[in-house]
Amino acid sequence: MGYMITSTANQQVKHLIQLNKKGRLRDAEGIFIAEGPRMFREAPRDWIEKIYLSETYFKNQWKEKETEVPCEIVRDSVFKAMCDTQTPQGILCLVKQRRCLLADLLKKKNPLLLILENIQDPGNLGTMIRTAEGAGADGVILSPGCVDLYNPKAIRSTMGSVYRVPFFRAGDLKETIAELKKQGVKTFAAYLDGSESYDEPDYREGTAFLLGNEGNGLTRELASCADTCIRIPMEGKLESLNVSAASAILLYEAYRQRNL
């Protein structure tokens, strides 16, 4: 930390701005950006590649004066320019991406999984990762059409759960579901025309919930791959719930059954 970054023309600043915007660049380099003290504190230390601190944060709040992780101090105005948030919290770090195989999600007996098809809102995706941790799920499976989990908004919405919930990017969800069935995992599709109410099946054995796109729900093709189509009863004029709310209802029903 021998000097301060004082210009947005600095190559590191330009690079960080591009990392915030471009998922392909993040994937190519195998890293993502985590903003804020909480995301820094909860990150496994061996995942952090570099730390950036605003001048004010360094002077007033930074306690780890000696750290093995490379640090850069950045002028406040420049720090704000390189952050994705409107009111930066003074610290961001470059973190290694986590690469998981389907087998990593199936290590425990009777796993509880979430399968997501074409989720588009990064806030929804991040919230579902957070809910999965809270409900004791063993992992999340993403279709190729899902928004990037390492999108900055998705990362913030996980509130740190991105570090702890394994997730697998499937090449083909139908093939993945077939493999889950071979491993004894029962699949339940959240579907408007579901034949059973969500609280009727037994979720104490290996269970995977399928949820679809915010606007259209699950595709009929994928829903037909599930063992059972389930529905969440609706009152009033609603047709469906927000997908993250639906995921919470299903995951916590499984949690309830498994902890009776």
Instruction: Count other Cβ atoms within 10 Å, centred on residue 89.
Output: 17
Q: What is the pLDDT of residues 190-245, one digit of tens each?
A: 988 888 999 999 999 999 999 999 888 899 999 999 999 999 988 888 877 899 99
CA separation for the pair 126, 244 (Å, rounded) = 9
Q: What is the pLDDT of residues 119-145, one digit of tens each?
A: 999 999 999 999 999 999 999 999 999
Which neighbouring-strand residues pair with 186?
A: 207
Q: Are both 4-96 and 102-258 of the same fold?
A: no
Look at residues 170, 112, 150, 157 and name the one whose alpha carbon lies nearest to residue 130: 157
Q: What is the mean pLDDT of residues 48-68?
A: 89
Give the domain ranges of the chain: 4-96, 102-258
Q: What is the mean pLDDT of residues 245-249?
A: 96
Q: Is the pLDDT of residue 64 over 90?
A: no
Provide the pLDDT for residue 260: 86
CA 197, chain centre distance (Å): 27
Provide the pLDDT for residue 81: 94
Q: How many residues does the chain have?
A: 260
Provide the pLDDT for residue 91: 96
**Average of per-residue pLDDT values in the chain:** 94
Which neighbouring-strand residues pair with 140?
A: 114, 167
Structure tokens at 45: 């230390």
Q: Is the pLDDT of residue 66 over 80?
A: no
DSSP 217: B
pLDDT > 90 in the chain, percent: 87
Q: Is the pLDDT of residue 67 over 90?
A: no
Q: Is the pLDDT of residue 65 over 70?
A: no
Q: Are 185 and 207 in contact (CB under 8 A)?
A: yes
Domain 4-96 class, CATH top level? alpha beta
Structure tokens at 193: 């025309």
Look at residues 103, 82, 124 and name the one whose alpha carbon lies nearest to residue 214: 124
Q: What is the pLDDT of residues 21-39, one digit of tens each?
A: 999 999 999 999 999 999 9
Higher per-residue confidence, 118 vs 234:
118
The model carries a pTM of 0.93
What would be the CATH architecture of the domain defined by 102-258?
3-Layer(aba) Sandwich (3.40)
- Beta-carbon contacts of residue 194 (< 8 Å; ≥ 6 apart): 228, 229, 230, 231
Q: Give the helix ranges, DSSP H, for 22-148.
A: 23-29, 37-42, 55-60, 76-82, 102-105, 122-134
User: C-alpha dihedral over 47, 51, 57, 62, to 10 degrees?
Assistant: 60
Q: What is the pLDDT of residues 68-93, one digit of tens each?
A: 899 999 999 999 999 998 899 999 99
- Farthest-apart Cα atoms in the chain, separation: 65
Q: Are 185 and 163 in contact (CB under 8 A)?
A: no
Structure tokens at 108: 């425990």
